[in-house]
Structure 1
Amino acid sequence: MKLYSSIGPNPRFVRMFAAEKGIALELAEIDILGGENRRGPFLGINPTGTTPVLVLDDGTPVAETTAICEYLEECVPEPPLIGATATQRARTRMWWRRVDLMVVQPMTAGFRAAEGLPMFRDRVRCLPQAADDLKRTAQEGLAWFESQLGDQQYLVGAEPSAADLLLYCFVEFGEQVGQGVDRSHRRLGAWRDRVGSRPSAAAG
């Protein structure tokens, strides 16, 4: 299988997921800064122009991080990153969706509306007038995760899950674009160190 990857938190999430599974993927780096993802031949692989994209051995392209990770989980169930039982899968998907809605979406939109505006203004709809509110929304989401972690090692319990990997990739991205974790969030800071010490963090 070949993974069309690039800079950015979403491709890193898939690379970390694969690394946790011990899955070796052939990597093809796409230059999104140079707009390689917005022209052929990449648009023939993924017409939305987004990365990552996993091309299966039979040539089938699978885009979107959720779909890619679900596919890899089905191919290699161990170790389970989405869950080994219906209950575990439901809980992981619940937390995964919370990360998506409360951090990923507002943080991404806030970046595109401010620091990333020169790059994204001609590619997607950006909301510069809402940049500050979007960034505040992402910070409120991070504060909520801080309040929910408690004494747990990871978001869904004692073992890391896809939800942890996704949040970690966007926490790291946030640090790079002026949307870092508040230093008072000690539980989230310890969680970040815990995920960041895993071999997959270096692989990602």
Structure 2
Amino acid sequence: MKSSRTVSHLRRLGTTCLVLAIASALAHLAGLLVVIGTNVLPFWTISGILLIAYLTLLVVAYLAARGSTVPPVARSVLVFRTISISALCLLCLSGAFNDFGASYRVLDPPAANGCRAVVREVSFLFAGSGEVYSAWPFGIASRTGSWTADDGYKPVAHGSYTLNWHGNEGVLHLVGDHDPVWPALQTVRCGLV
């Protein structure tokens, strides 16, 4: 009886991890980031961590259920798990590939309401690009703009930018010395829409 209760708890905890991993994957697809202090964490990494936790709990529950009278998992649940795990694995792999070589930075100063500007920059061959996010003090950042740069230039990494706040709206000016940046002015909106 104790074994069946343990297996039941492990399955519930595993299902919770799977549901949270799916929610994190949806947040990643929506273009959101988690910002903790000056650290930035893309949601695909959170989804991957939760997926690993789910798979670990699944193995432990399977091992605990061997030789006991615990009812098997329904076929529809197995189909849902298989589809979810496959989709999450693809999303995590594509997120890792997309973030290969990307750098994230939380910019100073913050706005008066505590909102921060977060930048993601990528450089590949002769092309550079970036995205700017507005990060609320509670840690969720949403994308507010993007740019491209010539010759793989990363203006924020090179310190070639200014950030000025006017109330809840910031203006990020990206300076491209010999490598132009398009568009050079980015708006960081932190007010409620």
Asked which structure has the greater CA Rg, the reply is 2
Give your verdict on TM over 0.5: no
Q: Taking structure 2 as the reference length, what is the TM-score of the superposition?
A: 0.30
Instruction: Tell me: higher relative CO, structure 1 or 2? Use CA pairs within 8 A at least 6 residues apart.
Output: 1
Q: More strand per residue: 1 or 2? A: 2
